[in-house]
Structure 1
Amino acid sequence: MAETQYDTLAIEQSYLAEGQSRRVDEIKYTIKCLQNIPSQALKPKLQINIGSVVQLERDIDKQQWFFLAPVAGGYRCKLAMQIDTITIVVITPESPLGAAMIGKVIDDEVNIKIAEKSITDFITMVI
């Protein structure tokens, strides 16, 4: 139990330091997992799996793609291409969309249900 305001400050700082330490460990783990994706998995393929970059039909106009990774789901990055800028969203096989995509190929239908809402889309590109 804190006896003074300075004790409270020290306790808050220790919680912050512990949280930052955990976040550093998570980032190190993420980097290690991404480095361990076999180079073969990053080569173009027909069937969607870890390392695939996928575009769905409703995302063509937005120039949005999904990168299926073992970790780091939810991260977004923008890449400036010669003609346009594309957005890549990292998803994992544990996400509803990632789970629905695993093993699919171009023109397959993807069905997901999120919060009582069903979404159907089609795979248009796999890299």
Structure 2
Amino acid sequence: MDKKIIIDQVTEQLKKELALALIAANNAHKAATDDQSVAETQYDTLAIEQSYLAEGQSRRVDEIKYTIKCLQNIPSQALKPKLQINIGSVVQLERDIDKQQWFFLAPVAGGYRCKLAMQIDTITIVVITPESPLGAAMIGKVIDDEVNIKIAEKSITDFITMVI
């Protein structure tokens, strides 16, 4: 399994989001500095609200750029197959075998998904981070280890069936 394909697919999704976020940030900045946004009374807060929106959109742009950079800078050594789960590992849990779902442990971009065409099947890969409950439970584990996850008062126990 070529893990670079996973990184490339997620990076493409992020680049599309970045393009939209840049447009939103530019529009919000224009709206905040537009003559129509000038306060007419002390209760007119449109310009202030627009500036908060512009700031938030600019932060989102920075976050996406940072995420892309982090993904592209995952060391090639981390992408090599290994026995112990760490950043760069692709992992499958026992309950996900039938669904052909896998998890890619990355430092950023948790929640993004991609699909890979394998010999006879298409598999779904979900990016998780070590900060997520599942990612934290997986770090350092190996095949056949038990993983215990507690999410919203619900405990889930599963077993690691594959690590790439």
Superposition CA RMSD, Å: 2.4
Residue range with higher mean Cα deviation, 55-64 or 29-38: 29-38
Greater relative contact order (Cα 8 A, min sep 6): structure 1 or 2? 1
In structure 1, runs of 5+ residues without a counterpart are none
* 2:107 and 2:130 in contact (8 A); partners too: yes
1:18: how far off?
2.2
Of 96, 117, 130, the residue aligned with 1:59 is 96
1:10: how far off?
4.6
TM-score norm. by structure 2 comes to 0.69
Comparing both structures, which one devotes a greater share of its residues to strand? 1
TM-score norm. by structure 1 comes to 0.87
Kindly tell me the number of residue pairs found equivalent between the two proteins. 127
**Distance in 2 separating the partners of 1:2 and 1:39:** 54
Of 47, 66, 71, the residue aligned with 1:10 is 47
In structure 2, runs of 5+ residues without a counterpart are 1-37
In terms of Rg, which structure is larger? 2
Structure 1 runs of 4+ with >3 Å offset? 4-16
**Distance in 2 separating the partners of 1:5 and 1:124:** 63
Residue range with higher mean Cα deviation, 46-55 or 19-28: 19-28
1:46: how far off?
0.2
* 2:39 and 2:46 in contact (8 A); partners too: no
